[in-house]
Amino acid sequence: MANLITLSRLFLLLVIVAIAYRPASTVQLWIWPILTLVFISDGLDGWVARRRSEESLFGALFDIAVDRIVELTLWIVLADLDLVAIWIPIVFVMRGVLVDAIRASRVQADRRGPFALLESPAARWLVAGRFMRGFYATIKACAFVGLFMIQPLPIGIETYLPSLTEFWAPIQPGFEWLAMALAYLAVALCVLRGMPVIVEFLAEERRSLFSRSRGTRHRTP
C-alpha cells in the first residue's frame, strides 16, 4: 500500500506537467490542489508503511527516487516556462545525482536505510530529522505553488473575483518576489542538507584509504 501511494505521486506529476504547458488560464489553478496532494502523499506513504509494518529498504529507496523525480521535473518545467533561472534546476540535479550516488554505494555496502548511514548528530538532525525534512518539504511546496500560480492567479482573480482585481494589482509584485525568495531558500537548503552526506563520505573514504596504506606498510618486509 505504501509503495502504491508513493507511485501515485508520479501520476499526479504527469497531470501537473500536462496542465502547466496549457495556455495560461484558470485551468492551471488546479496545479495548486494537485501539488498539495503530492506533498501530503509524500508524508502519508511513510506513515502508512510504519502503521502497516511495511517498512523496507526498497521502500525507503523508492520513496527517495520518486521524490527526486518529482522535485527535478518540477524545477525543470519551471525553468522551461521561464519562471526560474536555469541554474536552479542544475543545482538540484547536481546535488541529487551526487548525494544519491553516495547513498546508493553506502546502502549497498552496509544494507542500512539511507538516513541511518549518517554518523554525527548534527548531520542526522539536518538531513534525517523530522523537523528539517518537514521544513524543507514545506519550503519547496510553497515555492512550487507560488511559482506555478504567478500566471494563472491574476487570471483567476479577474475571472472569479473581479472586485479584487484592483486590490491584487499592487500585491502581485510582492507575491512574485515571495515565490522567488522561497525558491532561493529551497536551493540553499538543498545544498546545505547535501553537504553532510558528502563530507561524511569523504571522511570515511579518507579513513579507509589511511587504514589500507598503514596495512600495506605493515605487510612490507
Q: Are 86 and 93 in contact (CB under 8 A)?
A: no
Q: What distance in Å separates the CA atoms of residue 179 and residue 88, rounded to the nearest whole number?
A: 14
Q: What is the mean pLDDT of the chain?
A: 84
Residue 86: half-sphere exposure toward Cβ, Cα within 13 Å: 1
Predicted confidence at residue 216, as pLDDT, reads: 57
Buried b (16+ CB within 10 A) or exposed e, 126-140: bbbbeebbeebbebb
pLDDT (tens digit per residue) in 124-146: 888 878 888 889 989 999 999 99
Predicted confidence at residue 75, as pLDDT, reads: 97
Q: What distance in Å separates the CA atoms of residue 107 and residue 83, rounded to the nearest whole number?
A: 36
Angle between helix 57-80 and 31-51 (nearest 10)? 170
Whole-prediction pTM: 0.85
Instruction: Specify the higher pLDDT residue, 220 or 151.
Output: 151
In the DSSP assignment, the letter for residue 22 is S
Q: Is the pLDDT of residue 111 over 90?
A: no
Q: Is the pLDDT of residue 220 over 60?
A: no
Predicted confidence at residue 62, as pLDDT, reads: 80
Number of other residues whose CB lies within 10 A of the CB of residue 10: 13
In which residue are the cell numbers 523537523 written? 131
Q: What distance in Å separates the CA atoms of residue 168 and residue 5, rounded to the nearest whole number?
A: 37
Q: What distance in Å separates the CA atoms of residue 58 and residue 54, rounded to the nearest whole number?
A: 10
pLDDT (tens digit per residue) in 167-218: 999 999 999 999 999 999 999 999 999 888 888 777 776 776 666 666 655 5
Q: Which amino acid is at 59?
A: G
Tell me the pLDDT band of 63, cut-offs 50, 70 and 90. confident
The contacts of residue 157 (CB under 8 Å, 6+ apart) are 164, 165, 168
Q: Is the pLDDT of residue 21 over 70?
A: yes
Q: Where are the domains of the chain?
A: 64-219
